[in-house]
Amino acid sequence: MNYPIGDYIISFLARKESPEDVQKLKEWLAVQPAHRDELKQWLVVWDTAGMMNVTEQFSPDKAYQRFIFQM
C-alpha cells in the first residue's frame, strides 16, 4: 500500500507504526534534510493537541530520536 506520508507519520506518533511505516518514513527523511524539520512540526502539533502521554514531558528532539532508534 502507498499512503501519503502523513499517514505514516500519524501511525508513528500514535505508536502504532508497522515496519513498513518506519521504512517509508526513513526513505522520506533521506530524500531531503528539511523533512526532519517537517517531522518535528508534526510532533509539536501532536503534542499541542494533547495526543502524547500526559505523564511524559514532550520533546520533539526526543521523539525524533525515538524514531531514529527504531530505524
Would you state the cell numbers that stand for residue 10, as one nine-digit string? 500519524
Estimate to the nearest angstrom the gap between the alpha carbon of 59 and the chain centroid.
12
Could you say which DSSP state residue 56 is in?
S
Estimate to the nearest angstrom the gap between the alpha carbon of 68 and the chain centroid.
10
- What pLDDT, on the 0 to 100 scale, is given for residue 14? 83
The Cα 49–Cα 15 span in angstroms is 16
Q: Which residue bears the cell 493537541?
A: 49
The Cα 54–Cα 8 span in angstroms is 23
Flag whether pLDDT at 26 surpasses 60.
yes
Flag whether pLDDT at 25 surpasses 60.
yes
Among residues of the chain, what percentage have pLDDT more than 90? 15
